[in-house]
Amino acid sequence: MDAHAAAADPSVADLIAARPHLAMHPFDGLVLEDVPLNAIADALGTPVWVYGAGTIRARLAALTAALAGVGAQVHYAVKANDHLAVLRLMAQGGAGADVVSAGELARARRAGIPPDCIVFSGVGKTVAEIAAALSEGIAQINIESAAELDMVAAVAARLDRVAKVALRINPDVDAGTHAKITTGRAENKFGIACAEAAALYARAAALPGVAPVGIALHIGSQILSLAPYRAAYARAAELVRTLRAAGHSVRRVDCGGGIGIGYRDEPGAAPDAFAGTLRQAFAGLEVELMVEPGRWLVGPAGLLLASVVLSKGGERFVVLDAAMNDLVRPAMYDAWHAIVPLAAARAAGAVAAVDVVGPVCESGDTFARARALPRLAAGDRVAILDAGAYGAVMSSTYNARPLAPIALVDGGNWAVVRARQDVHDLWRGESVPEFLDRPDR
Ligand SMILES: Cc1ncc(COP(=O)(O)O)c(C=O)c1O
């Protein structure tokens, strides 16, 4: 046990106090919006994901209001949480979508996001995906390479369409985030080097079937400092001036996403401060601004409920029924997620440092190491907080564990929005070829 790590961890009371959508009720236990989470766990079992619709609405409204001052449009990054109900909330709140696959495009359309509010990002769009985007008539395709520009022009010519494109530049700025989610350094696979952008923009302007509307950039995810944004946007503004000086029309700058949230006790990025950075960077340029936030909108609105299966190793390890196949962020990004008991009496108990792990056969299946937590016994339930972004979307069925269900809370109501997978779902679509069982093999 690591007493230092334990002492430094925020208390359960502090974690809840920092999250206005959560409350600890003396009898009902942990409550999301107005729904006791025990009621959902009683009905659906654990592990189960729960999203708060009111929280998503409030966050979208707050970000939209802050950005309205600079005329920036929100295009929600679907990859953060692509559930249809989440996308419907985005559509109702006036957000467009940033998609990175034909599947995400189909989800966004199915949820009611209009095609002219959709942009398509990603380094490896296939011909079929480009054709789907052009057939839908989406607002913009973000071009990530010269080769992709040629592909888009060819598909547009074949379909007799004009592709509105933005060139995604790589500003070579360190976003100061985890290596696996930084995207704006020269060594990252994303975007076009600034030095090559002007020539490629000129080529795009000359190509039939392609209409360049501006530039795009996205430097990474979970960014908590404004400094990397300032540096990247300064490069984008400089490029806009260079392109215009060369006679090109540059209507739009898509500023990407990445706005960070507080997972532990660090303050999340403030929408007003982010909007101020946009205002400063693009002052006087008269460009339409677009942003692609994902995590900031949905991260705090989701949690994963789990039950303690047992403790072992002299109570050092608390084994949950949720695992890395459900929430991979701790294993993949060393992410810190708050863990809170559902019962008020447990939450108020004395703390000890424990490792909270899942049952999957990997040492990386660890949600928390040496975490100061109230004592937990078999059958106790916990909520893993801030799991609304890059949570259920990244789940797998590793170890043949069926996908957990999802419930959506809205004020005092809740509904199941994805049923728990059944074991039969695990082999749906699989077959054992008949020749394997032939006696003459
Ligand atoms: C192109 C693009 N836009 C937006 C996002 C959303 O990032 P975040 O969820 O950190 O806001 C991502 C994710 O990394 C992305 O790749």
How many domains in the chain? 2
Query: Which ligand 1 atom is at minimum distance from the Cα of 257?
Result: 11
Whole-number Å distance between alpha carbons of 308 and 233: 46
Q: Residue for token digits 């390890």? A: 317
Whole-number Å distance between alpha carbons of 204 and 145: 11
In a domain, 437, yes or no: no
In a domain, 133, yes or no: yes
In a domain, 188, yes or no: yes
Query: Which ligand 1 atom is at minimum distance from the Cα of 292?
Result: 4
Residue 26: half-sphere exposure toward Cβ, Cα within 13 Å: 0
Q: What is the CA(314)–ligand 1 centre distance, in A?
A: 42
CATH of the domain at 376: 2.40.37.10
Global pTM reads 0.96
Query: Does residue 274 share a domain with residue 129?
Result: yes
194 is catalytic: no
pLDDT of residue 315: 84
CA distances from 147 to 113, 126, 219, 253, 373 (A): 29, 11, 21, 22, 52
Task: List all residues 6 or more positions away from 90 whose beta carbon is below 8 Å from its beta carbon.
Answer: 56, 60, 76, 97, 111, 113, 297
In a domain, 306, yes or no: yes
Q: Dihedral sign, CA of 356, 358, 363, 366?
A: negative
Helices within 1-95 (DSSP H only):
3-8, 12-17, 37-44, 53-68, 84-92
Task: List all residues 6 or more positions away from 226 whose beta carbon is below 8 Å from its beta carbon.
Answer: 269, 273, 274, 277
Q: Which of 32, 108, 15 is nearest to 302 (CA)?
A: 32
Q: Which of 93, 105, 167 is nearest to 137 (CA)?
A: 105
Whole-number Å distance between alpha carbons of 8 and 13: 14
Report which residue type is found at 417.
Answer: V
Q: Dihedral sign, CA of 145, 149, 150, 151?
A: positive
pLDDT of residue 186: 72
The catalytically annotated residue of 117, 194, 255, 361 is 361
Q: What is the CA(53)–ligand 1 centre distance, in A?
A: 21
Q: Which of 298, 324, 349 is the last residue of a domain?
A: 298
Q: Which domain holds residue 240?
A: 53-298
pLDDT of residue 257: 97
Query: Does residue 303 share a domain with residue 265?
Result: no
pLDDT tens sequence across 302-357: 999 999 999 998 889 999 999 999 999 999 999 999 999 999 999 888 899 999 99
pLDDT of residue 188: 77
Query: Does residue 183 share a domain with residue 84?
Result: yes
Query: Does residue 413 share a domain with residue 316?
Result: yes
Query: Does residue 102 share a domain with residue 91?
Result: yes
Query: Does residue 418 share a domain with residue 403?
Result: yes
pLDDT of residue 174: 81
Tell me if 219 CB under 6 Å of ligand 1. Answer: no
Tell me if 104 CB under 6 Å of ligand 1. Answer: no
Query: Does residue 71 share a domain with residue 20?
Result: no
- Helix, strand, coil % over all residues of the chain, rounded to 5: 35, 25, 40
In a domain, 434, yes or no: no
Strands 118-120 and 96-99: parallel
Query: Does residue 74 share a domain with residue 18?
Result: no
Query: Does residue 257 share a domain with residue 118?
Result: yes
pLDDT of residue 190: 79
Query: Does residue 44 share a domain with residue 57?
Result: no
Lookup: tokens for 96 = 């467009």
Helices within 93-175 (DSSP H only):
102-110, 127-136, 146-159
Q: Which of 253, 276, 298 is the last residue of a domain?
A: 298
In a domain, 45, yes or no: yes
- Is the bond into 47 cis (omega within 30 degrees of 0)? yes
* CB 118, CB 105: distance < 8 Å: yes
Whole-number Å distance between alpha carbons of 238 and 330: 38
The segments of the chain whose pLDDT lies below 50 read 1-6
SS3 at position 406: strand
Query: Does residue 219 share a domain with residue 131?
Result: yes
CATH of the domain at 218: 3.20.20.10
Q: Which of 298, 327, 344 is the last residue of a domain?
A: 298
Tell me if 80 CB under 6 Å of ligand 1. Answer: yes
Query: Does residue 200 share a domain with residue 73?
Result: yes
Tell me if 101 CB under 6 Å of ligand 1. Answer: no
In a domain, 435, yes or no: no
pLDDT of residue 8: 84
Whole-number Å distance between alpha carbons of 136 and 106: 10
Lookup: tokens for 82 = 């692509």
| Most ligand 1 atoms within 8 A of CB, residue of 81, 292, 333, 386 to mutate | 292
* CB 68, CB 310: distance < 8 Å: no
| Most ligand 1 atoms within 8 A of CB, residue of 218, 219, 229, 333 to mutate | 218
In a domain, 185, yes or no: yes
Q: Which of 188, 265, 190, 268 is nearest to 223 (CA)?
A: 268
